[in-house]
Amino acid sequence: MRYVGHLDLARAWERIFRRAQVPLEYTQGFNPRPRLQFAAALAVGVTSESEYLDAWLIERLDDDLTAWITQLNTVCPAGLRVTGVIEVPVQGDALPTLVEWSEYVITPFDKTLDTDDLHARAQTLLDQPTIKRQGRKKTYDLRPHILDLLVDEHGNLIAHLSTSEHANARPDELLDAMGLELGQVRVHRRRLHLRSEG
């Protein structure tokens, strides 16, 4: 599933909800679409265990939301799994505005990338006052969006990166700034931190 793009993933969730007979609300107009909103797009090639999706419904679900988890999972394709369902206020803040940062676990494939090498690369990056990057339209500083970067006891690189409407640091940018390539590592998003979590 890590090679499925964001738009294809959105279409997959449309089919999942339809097969599970979830009473989705649809947009008006010539081409009605179900009202779904992801917290943050997941880059191609990255796996995850902590994604959030808002779905607008035309009626309230039964009180037993755990039954809906089972019902959704019976129609999910391999690699997708629902871990929780909660009711949120219709007039609440938009889900993408709640996301503050992401936690990534980056596991090296390349045996030459040992713990000492990763630690040295991470420290060198953190010691830089600015990390200039070229975006599609302008140059920007990546450094303020790297909130934390360390190597754990298993030799994985743990990165906390800004993930919001105003600042979104991608793991491939981080790796490039460290002199690494996506083909050398496996990237997994372990957590999306929402400001509502306190």
Tell me if 102 sits within 8 A of 161, measured CB to CB.
Answer: yes
Q: Does residue 84 sit in the same domain as residue 103?
A: no
- How many structural domains compose the chain? 2
Quote the tokens at residue 22. Answer: 């979830």
Choice between 164 and 54, residue whose per-residue pLDDT is larger: 54
CATH number at residue 192: 3.30.70
**Residue 22 within any structural domain of the chain:** yes
Confidence of residue 196 (pLDDT cuts 50, 70, 90): low
pLDDT given for residue 109 in this prediction: 87
130 shares a domain with 53: no
Stretch among 5-9, 112-116, 134-138, 154-158 having the lowest mean pLDDT: 134-138
> Does residue 1 lie in a domain region?
no
Domain's final residue, options 92, 111, 126: 92
Print the domain residue range for 144: 96-197
Do residue 118 and residue 141 come from a single domain? yes
Let me know whether 148 and 172 are in one domain.
yes
- What pLDDT shows up at residue 1? 86
Do 115 and 31 belong to one domain? no
